Amino acid sequence: MDWERLSERPGLDPYLQELALFLDAHFARTFGLLWPENDPVVPLDAGGSPDAALAAYVATGLTALLGWKVAHATGARPPSGHVLVIQSAGSSHWTVLSPGDVAAEVSTLSGEALYLPSGCRSSAVHSDDARHVILVVTDPEEGPPAPPAAPAADGLQG
């Protein structure tokens, strides 16, 4: 990826650039937590919720920047594959289990992003006001993620 050329593009949202750099660095390697320096510049969507607008904006922007499929995960079943969680309000405390590693404990606050690679399992305890956007990321070379095996009672599992 030519990040120098990318950074010279006029009008590029610095938030999307941060997320793209973050995903490119962590993708298919290890989980990661991003404390972005910038806030997203999300166009107001007259018909939807702020979270739906954020999900659509980030999914469209990252797909354009990375060339990977990024889709908003909705529904009761947790997504499988590569997952990007953007905390849109409140806070969450995560226990992350990567294959072959000791469990890690991380917390996300509003605006922060957590990347969970395929095969990484997680559980979360959320504050009462917590909201988050869940995106599934697919590298075209890997193909689409497998369907989820079973619903999780709390948090995400992949």
CATH of residue 88: 2.60.120
pLDDT digits (tens, 9 = 90+) for 42-95: 877 656 889 999 999 999 999 999 888 999 998 655 667 899 999 999 999 999
Q: Which tokens is 126 given?
A: 């959320």
CA-angle at 153, arms to 152 and 157, nearest 5°? 30
pTM confidence score: 0.81
Q: Which tokens is 158 given?
A: 């992949």
User: Is the backbone of residue 60 left (phi > 0), alpha (psi -120 to 50) or beta?
Assistant: alpha
Q: For position 3, what pLDDT does the model report?
A: 55
Structural domain for 52, as ranges: 3-138
Total structural domains within the chain: 1
CA-angle at 140, arms to 5 and 38, nearest 5°? 45
Q: Residue-wise over 51-60: b if at least 16 C-beta within 10 A, else e?
A: bebbbbbbbe
Q: Which tokens is 114 given?
A: 């957590």
Q: Say if 149 falls within a structural domain.
A: no
Q: Say if 148 falls within a structural domain.
A: no
